[in-house]
Amino acid sequence: MVYIILGKGFEEIEAIATMDVLRRGGVKAAFASVDGKTVEGAHGIQVASDTTVKKINLFDADMLIVPGGLGGVESIERSRESMDVLKKANDTGIPLAAICAGPRVLAKIGALEGKNAVCYPGMEDQMGGAKIDNSCLSCVDGNIVTGRGPGAAIAFGLEVLRFMKGDAAAKKVAEGMTYDIR
């Protein structure tokens, strides 16, 4: 199971596009809210979560994903449970992904130290010891996948799908979406 963590103020396109791409690719995925059943995004779109961070079972977690949206990122950072589950996932080798401002959360738990990554332009100094190259839409380094921002949402989703199920699965979904994959 892939869990996409939603905090109030998350970037809707990053969360929903990633979920859509993963489900098109046959990946079992769920929205996990910091708290509550419904989470409001940065642009006022309400999304029903499938579960909460408190209920994430790391034994069945294949990956945890943090979308951007500074409000959502701050909500996750204020949630001890969210930060603890992300830290435990990182410590046990469960893959992590984040896009836009989301990589800041991964930096705070030490997951980006020495890693190649991308983030929302202007946030480079908040990425800890990561090596940031924002000339790319998305980046994979070991068990970490990062994406640059809202405009990279589909590319990021496809990169996560490629990480989970391979190049052929990502190409098939991209083709079905009439998206030129790189």
Give residue-wise pLDDT tens across range 102-153.
999 999 999 999 999 999 999 999 999 999 999 999 999 999 999 999 999 9
- Domain CATH number, residue 52: 3.40.50.880
pLDDT value at position 181? 78
Determine the structural domain holding residue 151 and report its residue range: 2-176
The catalytic residues are 100
Task: Give the model's pLDDT for residue 82.
Answer: 98
Does 182 reside within a domain? no
Give the up-direction half-sphere exposure of residue 4: CA atoms within 13 A in the CB hemisphere: 29
**92 residue type, one letter:** T
What is the domain count for the chain?
1
Is residue 181 a part of any domain in this protein?
no
Instruction: Confirm whether 148 is domain-assigned.
Output: yes
Cα-based distances in Å from 126 to 5, 58, 91, 113 = 20, 27, 21, 12
Contact 96, 143 (CB under 8 A): yes
17-29, pLDDT tens digit by residue? Answer: 999 999 999 999 9
Looking at residue 148, its amino acid is R
Residue 118 domain-assigned (yes or no): yes
Handedness of CA 156, 159, 163, 168 (dihedral sign): positive
Confidence of residue 182 (pLDDT cuts 50, 70, 90): low
Enter the tokens of residue 21.
């791409």
Of 37, 79, 107, the residue nearest 96 (C-alpha): 107
Instruction: Dump pLDDT digits (tens) for 29-74.
Output: 999 999 889 999 999 999 999 999 999 999 999 999 999 999 999 9
Q: Is the pLDDT of residue 15 over 90?
A: yes
Which of 8, 6, 34, 36 is CA-nearest to residue 19? 6
